[in-house]
Every structure is written in C-alpha cells, then in structure tokens.
Amino acid sequence: MPDAPSIINTTMETFQKDVIQQSTVRPVVVDFWADWCGPCKQLIPILEKLTAEAKGAFCLVKVNVDQCPEIAGAFGVQSIPFVVAMLDGQPVSQFAGVKPEPELRAWLKSFMPSPAAEAFEQGQQHETDGSLELAEASYRKASELEPEIAEFRITHARVLLELNRDQEAREILDELNKRGYLEPEAQALVAQLELRSQVEESGGVAEAKKALEANPTDLTLQLKLAEALGADSRFDEACEMCLAIVTKDRGGVGVPAKEVMVGLLTVMGPKSRLAADFRKRLATAFY
C-alpha cells in the first residue's frame, strides 16, 4: 500500500477502515495515547521515526483514548501508552509503557515480514504465474538476504534445475552439503542432477530407444532407457522398466536397476504417492 498514509489519527467512524481492513494488507501498529500522558509523548516520536523509516511497510494508527473511549475499552486498555500490532484483523503482539528505540525495533521485527520472506513469497507467486525466470530472481534475492534458511536455497536450486541451469543448482547443493547433511528435498535434487549427468552421456531417450530397438532383449540397454525416461521426468515408465528388469534378473542387471529405481524414487520426493506405490512394489519384487 505505497500510496496510503503511514501515520493516521483514527476516529470511531474510521477505525474499521484504518485498522481492521488495512491490517489485511499490511501490519498496523495501534498506539493508544492521550494529551495529558507524559510517557505517551516520549513514545510517539520514536514510533513515528520508525514508521517513516519503514516507508510504508506498516502503518501507525494513533487512538486518542479521551476521544475514542469505546475503542480503548474494546482492546482492554488499562493504562497508556498501550501499543498493539494488528495482522489480518487480529492482535498479534502488544505492550504497555515506553520502550527504548532498540527494543521497539526488535518488537517490530518480531511480526514484520522480512525482506527475504517477502522476496520468497514473490518468487512463489511468479512460479504460480508460470514466470520461472522472475521466480528464480526472487528466490536468489531471498537466499542472498538470509542464506541460513535452507528452504530458500533449496527452492532456488529446484527452479534453476527447471531452467536447465544445472551447474548453478549443483553449486548451491554442494554448499548445503558442507553442513554434513541434506534435507530430503535437497537429496531429491542431487539425485536428479546425477540422473541427468548419466543420461547426457548416453544421449537421452531417443538414443536409448534407438539402441534398444537394435537389441530389444538386452537388459542393460533397457536400463539405459529407464534412466533416460527418468531424467525426462517420465517416472512411471522408468520405474516400470526397472521393476521388470529386477524381476527378470535379480542377481545381475537387476542390482543396478534397483539402484536406479531407488534414485528415481528419491527424485520423486518423500510426499509422492507414485513413489510410495513403487517403493512397495520394489520391496516385493526384490525381497
């Protein structure tokens, strides 16, 4: 809401619009005060300064308790100054009395969306709209602002993979792996990268099919095609081929076929119902 005023003196008539409705768009800080209140006069300049610095990220709404006693009563105000943070029409944090500026900054930060979180949400919206390049830029910004949040970096790597920018994705995942562990989502991306590398060496689905047509009973060539199909995100076909190979030759080509299939299941992710079904079928076929 960049064009809306960021400091408002509300009334009984405008409170609904100034606070309740506006808090669905951005955070609203409600300051209950009075002309005769000395501590209020100490707090208001600090609040106004921080509001100006925020440049519209939140709105400061001042409520004179002498002019709006009904509002003060509705919020259970016992003493002033009394300050309440509102989000989506609901109070999320509050305090009474005067806080020094550093404490006020920390209080605001506790409920204000961070620039990194805002960039991440923007990236999600770009993805929903089908704009992967814009999503990648937003996820990159979020990752740079708060690199300690793994979700931001993993999501960035995933979109880079979707854009076929494999090397950049690999660099992010390698950096995450330096912690000594990887989240399941990151493990799936690593498996996808490895699968892509293997298939690139063999020439992809078209080359794998061509080779298999020349020798359709060759299980090794069948496995190559399964790998290529998996790299092309045709997981159902790829897993069916791997299962068939395991069934035919459990002790031979079935061993690497099982490994390929496990990799495919990892790529599909822990929440995939298809992966869960194939995992059960693999266990039955191999054991």
Q: pLDDT tens digits, residue range 39-97?
A: 999 999 999 999 999 888 899 999 999 999 999 999 999 999 999 999 999 999 999 99
| pLDDT (0 to 100) of residue 271 | 80
pLDDT band at 1 (very low <50, low <70, confident <90, very high): very low
* Spans of all domains in the chain: 7-111, 115-180, 200-286
Residue 89, phi-psi category: left (phi > 0), alpha (psi -120 to 50), beta (remainder): left
Higher pLDDT, 172 or 110: 172
pLDDT tens-digit series, residues 200-217:
776 788 889 999 999 999
| pLDDT (0 to 100) of residue 57 | 87
Q: Which residues have a Cβ under 8 Å from the Cβ of 74 and sit 6 or more positions away?
A: none
CATH topology of domain 200-286: 1.25.40
Q: Are 80 and 40 in contact (CB under 8 A)?
A: yes
Q: By percentage, how much of the chain surpasses pLDDT 70?
A: 97
Domain 115-180: which CATH number of 1.25.40.10, 2.60.120.560, 1.10.3720.10, 3.90.1200.10: 1.25.40.10
| pLDDT (0 to 100) of residue 198 | 75
* CATH 3.40.30.10 is right for the domain spanning 7-111: yes
Instruction: Give the closest residue to 238 by CA, choosing from 284, 188, 199, 280.
Output: 199
| pLDDT (0 to 100) of residue 3 | 54
Calpha distance 100→117 (Å, rounded): 27
Average pLDDT, whole number, for the chain? Answer: 92
The sign one gets for the Cα dihedral 143, 148, 152, 155 is positive
Alpha helices in the chain (DSSP H): 15, 38-54, 69-74, 101-111, 115-128, 132-145, 150-162, 166-177, 184-202, 204-214, 219-231, 235-248, 254-268, 273-286
Instruction: Give the closest residue to 57 by CA, choosing from 98, 26, 22, 17.
Output: 26
Q: By percentage, how much of the chain surpasses pLDDT 90?
A: 76
HSE of 135, CA atoms in CB hemisphere, 13 A: 20
Residue by residue, DSSP assigns 162-188 as HTT-HHHHHHHHHHHHTTS---HHHHH
Q: Which residues have a Cβ under 8 Å from the Cβ of 241 and sit 6 or more positions away?
A: 222, 223, 225, 226, 229
Calpha distance 230→225 (Å, rounded): 9
Calpha distance 206→202 (Å, rounded): 10
| pLDDT (0 to 100) of residue 5 | 79
pLDDT at 2 over 50: no
Q: How large is the average pLDDT for residues 265-279?
A: 88
pLDDT at 118 over 90: no
pLDDT tens-digit series, residues 230-246:
888 899 999 999 999 99
| pLDDT (0 to 100) of residue 176 | 96
pLDDT tens-digit series, residues 154-175:
999 999 999 999 999 999 999 9
| pLDDT (0 to 100) of residue 242 | 95
Q: How large is the average pLDDT for residues 99-123?
A: 90
As annotated, the active-site residues are 37, 40
Instruction: Give the closest residue to 29 by CA, choosing from 109, 119, 100, 102.
Output: 109
* 272, two tokens: 């995939």
Count the Cβ atoms, other than its own, within 10 Å of residue 234: 15
pLDDT tens-digit series, residues 240-270:
999 999 999 988 999 999 999 998 998 888 8
Q: Fold identical between 115-180 and 200-286?
A: yes
Phi, psi of 252 (to 5 degrees): -110, -110
Q: How large is the average pLDDT for residues 104-113?
A: 89
